[in-house]
Amino acid sequence: VLLCARGQKGKSTLAVSALTEGFDYVSEDYLLLEKKGDSLSASPLYSMMSLSPEMYDELYDSLGKARFIGVGPFKGKYLFDISEYSDQVRWHYPIKACVFPEISPDASEPRVELCGLEEKNRAITSMAHSTLFQMWSNGLKQRQMDQDFLLSVVRMLRGLDFYRIVLTPDIFKNAACLRAFIKSL
């Protein structure tokens, strides 16, 4: 699955906890998407991940092979080298669905829900805004190129089913819920 959402929605924490729980992994934040016919696949750009200081404290005992690099430029996230997890990193990994996390501090159990068309369009719009923010904050300001790029990404994702995963404060329950969902695809 492809995790899509703006910042501070739980993507990194879910991805990192999934990695430490033995999931196959592609990348965090930046990745390569490739469309061939009806198939969409993802490949990594680098072997790095980031966590907020609070989530780092939560996952500290699970991080194992991840090596601290430093503090990143966005919101003071901690950066980690995950090259030691290379046996779990996948290239040209098929994407079957998009999942966008939503943190619910009141939820006692995580759950995954199929999105309707309106919610799917909101998720795609959110992903597009997040992508533009990342591109512009990294100095890429050619607006026509950005628009063409975003349209190609939207076309690639449009054919996928979109799901919302409601996350609880228990990050390990969230990873278990994601695992069960992926197995059901």
Q: Would residue 97 be called left, alpha or beta, if left means φ above 0 and alpha means ψ between -120 and 50 degrees?
A: beta
pLDDT (0 to 100) of residue 96: 94
pLDDT (0 to 100) of residue 109: 97
pLDDT (0 to 100) of residue 120: 93
Strands 97-103 and 2-3: parallel
pLDDT (0 to 100) of residue 117: 94
pLDDT (0 to 100) of residue 76: 81
Helix (H) or strand (E) holding 32: strand 31-36
The partner residues of 165 in beta bridges, in order of sequence, read: 101, 112
**67, 84 contact by CB (below 8 A):** yes
Which of the residues in the chain have pLDDT under 70? 74, 134-146
| Contacts of the segment 142-150: beta carbons below 8 A, 24+ positions apart | none
Q: Can you spell out the DSSP letters for 59-115?
A: HGGG-TT-EEEEE-SSTTPEEEE-GGGTTTB-SSEE--EEEEEEE-TT-SS-EEEE-
Geometric angle at alpha carbon 158, from 101 and 88, rounded to 5°: 55
DSSP code of residue 29: S
pLDDT (0 to 100) of residue 175: 95
pLDDT (0 to 100) of residue 139: 60
pLDDT (0 to 100) of residue 106: 93
- C-alpha 123, offset from chain centre: 13
